[in-house]
Structure 1
Amino acid sequence: MRGNSNPLIRVFLNLPRLHKRVISVLSDAFFLFFAFWAAFALRLEQQNWLPNYDQFLVCLVTVVVTIGVFIKLGLYRAVIRYLSDKAFLTIVYGVMASALCMIVLGYLMQVFIPRSVPIIYGALAFMFVSGTRLGVRMIVNHPKQRAKEAVAIVGAGETGMQLASALEQGTEYRPAVFVTFDRANHKSTINGLPVMSINHIAKHLPKHRVQRILLALDEDTKIDRKKLLKQLEPLSIPVQTVPSMSELVAGQARINDIRDLEIEDLLGRDPVRPDSAVVAKSLYQKSVMVTGAGGSIGSELCRQIIRHRPRSLVLFEQSEFSLYAIERELSSINQIEGLGVELHPLLGNVNHRRRCETVMRAFGVQTVYHAAAYKHVPLVEHNVIEGIQNNVFGTWHTAEAAVAAGVERFVLISTDKAVRPTNVMGASKRLAELVLQALAQRQQKTVFSMVRFGNVLGSSGSVVPLFRDQIRDGGPITVTHPDIIRYFMTIPEASQLVLQAGSIGVGGEVFVLDMGEPVKIADLARKMIHLMGLEEKTEDDPSGDIEVVYTGLRPGEKLFEELLIGDDPQGTSHPRIMMAREVSLAWEQVEEFLSQLQRASQTFDCSAVIEVLKNAKTGYAPNGDLEDLVWCNGQSDIAAAGQQDDSKVRRLSV
């Protein structure tokens, strides 16, 4: 009853259902009698015409039969405020039956009924019966429609039509205008709603008091989304989207599930499409293992791998909760889609070589995707030893286990921060790459590949959900530097690239993605502010909503990230994937660096760790001081304890 201030309407709407049906029957009976009289009065051109006994009897029987037909057709079960086209079709059938009944009764009872009267009666009866219902629906619904938020629907195709229909039945939004990309449709109407060209959107939206823009683009619509968002951004009206047709068909969402813009939209470029046939061939009926299976990248890898129907999928994860969550989700997918994949959720640490090897042998693992890593730059800067242990030694031990277990393929998930690194995380990932490159040269049984990509939107710690939360909290948005630039990709894209590389690698390659133009973080923040319907608060516009605050570069952070060390990338069978055979080291050299790193780690000597990373041909050039929290807060004690431990190790070795 919300939105209806008229007390009479509220009383009517609160009546019991039976009472409403009785009122509808009495109303129809009255208007059917009136239509009978009006048909004769119009035909005979006598405003004071009155029926005789026989004509009244025909009218009475006709009305009773008509009401009976309406009841049989279910007209009185239809809720008037939600009246559909089917209800009007029911009225047509009932009125036709009523007119036919009049003709038959007139013939059987030999009553004078001119031939045109049933036709006039039918037309009037339809007008009165349907008109009363339309009137009630308009009176009841109009205040509620006015109370709803006016929205513009971008896309006048099938998806847009479905959305408009769903919103009209809902309680939150009122479709006010369609936005089309076809100039020829400008100023036309669809379902009573005006249609305007995208080129006139700034002029017409205020006219229709639009408070929100909903993207309802058909999947086959070839639209430059980057250009579209550039046109919508200056309007400072919230822009949201609806599920894709594939999600609707799969039952994963409903058409009126309004949500914030997809990360792919903010990215402003076409997503990378994998060569499904090549990927499927490398995974179908194989035994696959994913380390770090509960992480943002690892879990998406598992979701995509399982749909290629491997024989078994081993989920290797250190976090009990993360393992439980991904195993539960994959079990649901497995059951619903009837994939028949054996799932093996296993707790374990990638630093435990024997555990990894035992797992790989037990399940006959043929392909390993190594996603287990610490990847947050500031956290690794503050926890140097743990970062090295997980990223370097974890990769080494898992790779050695794969070689010992006879694994066919091993794919490392790397990062663009491994290129000329300025932080420990990037240096540790570059050293992990060098370890695999050396192992690829040392043996021929296992094919090692590395996949390097930029920042992953939507992963844990990603800027997009962070910015979104900051905007909803009223700001400010925190950006480290006004000029900081990053390459971006989505989690599905990153996972697809990993799977693609795993299928085309022949040994020791570093694969990188052609990611297009880098994104300026500050511009991304402003775009999100505008597309959420707000204004940036600046010195020139102090009345704005959200301020962008620059906090300074974090420890180990660079202004620009690179994907390649060399400048001569080679193409691959995939048009968006490049390959770089970068400088590698012999296994003897890598082994020596690993020994030095192990000794430094065992004595918790962070400064020695940094020196090894600098000397290990990683290109590591730190842009700040050592930031390890434990080291900085107890350096002398740690050094003394480390020297004692080191002397003990030497005595034991002697």
Structure 2
Amino acid sequence: MIGGAGSIGQAVTKEIFSRNPKRLHVVDLSENNLVELVRDIRSSIGYIDGDFRTFALDCGSWEFEAYFRNQERFDYVLNLSALKHVRSERDPYTLMRMVEVNILNSIKTIELAIETGVKKYFAVSTDKAANPVNMMGASKRIMEQYLFKYADQIDISTARFANVAFSDGSLLHGFKQRLEKMQPISAPNDVRRYFVTFKEAGQLCLMSTIFGNTREIFFPKLSEELHLVTFSEIAKKFLKSRRLTPVECTSEDEARSSVERLAAEGRWPCYFSSSDTTGEKDFEEFFTENEEVDLERFATLGVVKNPHSRSPEKLTQFLEDIQSMKKRMQWNKEELVQAFARLLPEFAHKETGKYLDGKM
């Protein structure tokens, strides 16, 4: 399990652990998250007879390669690592890190899996990969293209899913942080998103790994009418679940200055505004009109069937473009956007010049 100590990774790890595997190794950059993962598992599920171990490693490093090559062959490799924030669009260096994590590390680990005889490779994607408007979604769309390129050599499947409610770094997780720190809640009132629970995310990844045919993309079969909601609506429901009455403010300053007074009355200040930041999509979708979709195989899951990758020449050219930028140790955001667009003609990058870090 790569990236197994993140929010989604922990959910998948616990799903696998609870099924008593013969061997479960979890790799993640975050030593602290790995510690919490072990504590959580020991305190909830307990122990298994199999070999359960964790490793604080970067899957793109030579240390990881040495570790992987010196293990008995794994049956499955699940890659849950990702840079997942749209706010990572703010500078070219973070964007290149996104390319490294979401695309290049996936290629490295797939090639390692093929060389060592792994049976199945799974990598997590995102709903933002369908008709992407931001670099994060486009990077995962490109990752999908490379997955399908290698699907002739190893069974590969993936999953696109919605926002995982209260996952680390998510806006909903931020709501909890704001309450703990006696700070107002801020959210866009015009951006609609799907949400799934940790358990649903973990089960979706495991279903795709076990039941997905090669080149298939699993996604949750959610109703737009019932499940596509705005962040401001979620914020209000969250506060009401804490027995707090949301109070809408007209500015960030008003919201910041009224926390203590309103909190003493069982109320909480909120600042809701329209979205004007780079890469924000008004709504999320799991597949495009050009993709073949099976909605009958499972009651709660849909499947994108047999999507094809871009031409080998375009995939090779993309890697050459990225390596050229890295070699000269200098690049800008426009170059990266253009490299993405050459590989993904459907990429409709939404650039406004404003970023989430500029908001409360």
Into which bin does the TM-score normalised by the smaller protein fall? 0.7 to 0.9
The alignment partner of 2:151 has SS state of: helix
CA distances 1:301-343 after superposition (whole Å, capped 9, x unpaired): 1111111111111111122222333244445667x3x421202
Match among 293, 299, 304 for residue 569 of structure 1: 293
CA distances 1:482-536 after superposition (whole Å, capped 9, x unpaired): 2110011011101100001111122111111112231121111122233333333
Matches within 5 A, 1:508-527: 508-516=215-223, 517-527=227-237
Give the Cα separation in 1 of the matches to 2:248 and 2:353.
35
The alignment partner of 1:291 has SS state of: coil
Match among 598, 616, 619 for residue 343 of structure 2: 616
User: Judging changes above 3 Å, is the alpha-carbon distance between structure 1 residues 346 and 575 closer, same or farther for their aligned structure 2 residues?
Assistant: same
User: Judging changes above 3 Å, is the alpha-carbon distance between structure 1 residues 330 and 557 closer, same or farther for their aligned structure 2 residues?
Assistant: same
Matches within 5 A, 1:402-441: 402-441=113-152
Q: Is 2:305 the counterpart of 1:585?
A: no
User: Judging changes above 3 Å, is the alpha-carbon distance between structure 1 residues 351 and 539 closer, same or farther for their aligned structure 2 residues?
Assistant: closer
CA distances 1:113-133 after superposition (whole Å, capped 9, x unpaired): xxxxxxxxxxxxxxxxxxxxx
Q: AA paired with 2:295?
A: G
C-alpha deviation, 1:291, in angstroms: 0.3
TM-score, with length taken from structure 1: 0.47
Give the Cα separation in 2 of the matches to 1:464 and 1:352.
32
Q: AA paired with 2:272?
A: Y
Q: AA paired with 1:575?
A: A
Give the Cα separation in 2 of the matches to 1:362 and 1:598.
30
Match among 96, 100, 104 for residue 385 of structure 1: 96
Give the Cα separation in 2 of the matches to 1:610 and 1:512.
27
Match of 1:287 in 2: none
Give the Cα separation in 2 of the matches to 1:608 and 1:591.
17
CA distances 1:585-627 after superposition (whole Å, capped 9, x unpaired): 2334322222222222333313322211011126322211678
Shift >4 Å, 4+ stretches: 331-334, 471-475, 625-628
Q: Is 2:327 the counterpart of 1:605?
A: no
Gaps of 5+ in 2: 251-257, 356-360
Q: Do 1:381 and 1:424's aligned partners in 2 also have CA atoms closer than 8 Å?
A: no
Q: Do 2:184 and 2:269's aligned partners in 1 also have CA atoms closer than 8 Å?
A: yes
Give the Cα separation in 1 of the matches to 2:17 and 2:148.
28
Q: Is 2:320 the counterpart of 1:595?
A: yes
Match of 1:349 in 2: 58
Q: Do 1:353 and 1:401's aligned partners in 2 also have CA atoms closer than 8 Å?
A: no
Q: Which has the higher helix share?
A: 1
Match of 1:452 in 2: 160
Q: Do 2:158 and 2:218's aligned partners in 1 also have CA atoms closer than 8 Å?
A: yes
Q: Do 1:427 and 1:618's aligned partners in 2 also have CA atoms closer than 8 Å?
A: no
Q: Percent identity?
A: 24
C-alpha deviation, 1:584, in angstroms: 2.3
Match among 501, 509, 523 for residue 208 of structure 2: 501
Q: Is 2:196 the counterpart of 1:470?
A: no
Number of residue equivalences:
332
The alignment partner of 1:511 has SS state of: strand
Matches within 5 A, 1:37-56: none
Match of 2:239 in 1: 529
Q: Do 2:192 and 2:284's aligned partners in 1 also have CA atoms closer than 8 Å?
A: yes
User: Judging changes above 3 Å, is the alpha-carbon distance between structure 1 residues 476 and 626 closer, same or farther for their aligned structure 2 residues?
Assistant: closer
User: Judging changes above 3 Å, is the alpha-carbon distance between structure 1 residues 357 and 452 closer, same or farther for their aligned structure 2 residues?
Assistant: farther
Match among 62, 67, 74 for residue 365 of structure 1: 74
Q: AA paired with 1:527?
A: K
C-alpha deviation, 1:411, in angstroms: 0.7
User: Judging changes above 3 Å, is the alpha-carbon distance between structure 1 residues 487 and 360 closer, same or farther for their aligned structure 2 residues?
Assistant: farther
Give the Cα separation in 2 of the matches to 1:492 and 1:553.
32
Match among 492, 516, 537 for residue 199 of structure 2: 492
Larger radius of gyration: 1
Q: Do 1:380 and 1:387's aligned partners in 2 also have CA atoms closer than 8 Å?
A: no
Match of 2:32 in 1: 321
User: Judging changes above 3 Å, is the alpha-carbon distance between structure 1 residues 293 and 531 closer, same or farther for their aligned structure 2 residues?
Assistant: closer
The alignment partner of 1:410 has SS state of: strand
The structure whose RCO (Cα within 8 Å, separation 6+) is larger is: 2
User: Judging changes above 3 Å, is the alpha-carbon distance between structure 1 residues 602 and 495 closer, same or farther for their aligned structure 2 residues?
Assistant: farther
Give the Cα separation in 1 of the matches to 2:66 and 2:296.
32
Q: Is 2:16 the counterpart of 1:305?
A: yes
User: Judging changes above 3 Å, is the alpha-carbon distance between structure 1 residues 354 and 464 closer, same or farther for their aligned structure 2 residues?
Assistant: closer
Matches within 5 A, 1:256-275: none
Match of 1:559 in 2: 282
User: Judging changes above 3 Å, is the alpha-carbon distance between structure 1 residues 555 and 364 closer, same or farther for their aligned structure 2 residues?
Assistant: same
Q: Do 1:368 and 1:411's aligned partners in 2 also have CA atoms closer than 8 Å?
A: yes
User: Judging changes above 3 Å, is the alpha-carbon distance between structure 1 residues 325 and 428 closer, same or farther for their aligned structure 2 residues?
Assistant: same
Q: Do 2:277 and 2:352's aligned partners in 1 also have CA atoms closer than 8 Å?
A: no
C-alpha deviation, 1:572, in angstroms: 5.6
TM-score, with length taken from structure 2: 0.83
C-alpha deviation, 1:348, in angstroms: 2.2
The alignment partner of 2:140 has SS state of: helix
| Greater Cα offset, 381-390 or 543-552 | 543-552
